Amino acid sequence: MPANRTVIDDSGVVRCSWGAEPEIYRRYHDDEWGRPVCSDNGLLEKLCLEGFQSGLSWLTILRKRDAFRAAFADFDPVTVAGFDEPDVERLLGDAGIVRHRGKIESTINNARRCVELIDEFGGLAAFVAGYRPEAAVRPTTLTWDWLAQNSTTAESTALAKELKRRGWSYVGPTTVYAFMQAVGLVNDHLDTCFARAPTQRAQAEWDAY
């Protein structure tokens, strides 16, 4: 595997190696990962699914994502915040999702905490945008070696700490950094990846916050 961890497909497209295959990964890498997600539903979904992924592969979560969305009312914060013990039992019986009581209860708890943040900041995006790193602290050339040594950052650590202070769970610094990568608070496509430039342009959407 090349030292920069990119691969070239048969049509000459260069992409991060993790996003080359299978197809569900390729679609996620090419069209979604790193692109801004600013809706309350979308941000809650990404953060909760990163929590569900703990101890599992992201491929497992991607394959179950439609089932997660159906089970958790498209991650509408107000709806999920209203879930109670019968809902927990229902979800524990849903073979389409990861049936882990702690993670299910965490999602309901986090939806309640999310509603609190929406009330305070007007939206979850306005809150998390405050932890978007300044360009000056980001590497000028993004390499695999840098990513391998930076599964957390000062910003993800600070955001995780504040979320925990506010009562969120399954939000450690590594989980939070993966969330930041996924929703476009950072652009971690490698420099030679075809998706890096369009992702960088798209991330200007966060400037509004």
At which residue do the structure tokens 């209203």 appear? 82
Report whether 43 contacts 125 (CB < 8 A): yes
Spatial neighbors of 84 by CB under 8 A, at least 6 apart, are none
Report whether 114 contacts 77 (CB < 8 A): yes
Is 28 labeled as catalytic in the residue annotation?
A: yes
Is 33 labeled as catalytic in the residue annotation?
A: no
**Closest-CA residue to 163 (of 203, 124, 135):** 124
- The Cα diameter of the chain in Å comes to 52
Active-site choice (18, 50, 131, 170): 50
Active-site choice (25, 58, 206, 209): 58
Is 209 labeled as catalytic in the residue annotation?
A: no
String of DSSP letters for 2-61 = -TT-EEE-TT--EEEGGGSSSHHHHHHHHHTTTS---SHHHHHHHHHHHHHHTTS-HHHH
Active site residues: 28, 50, 58
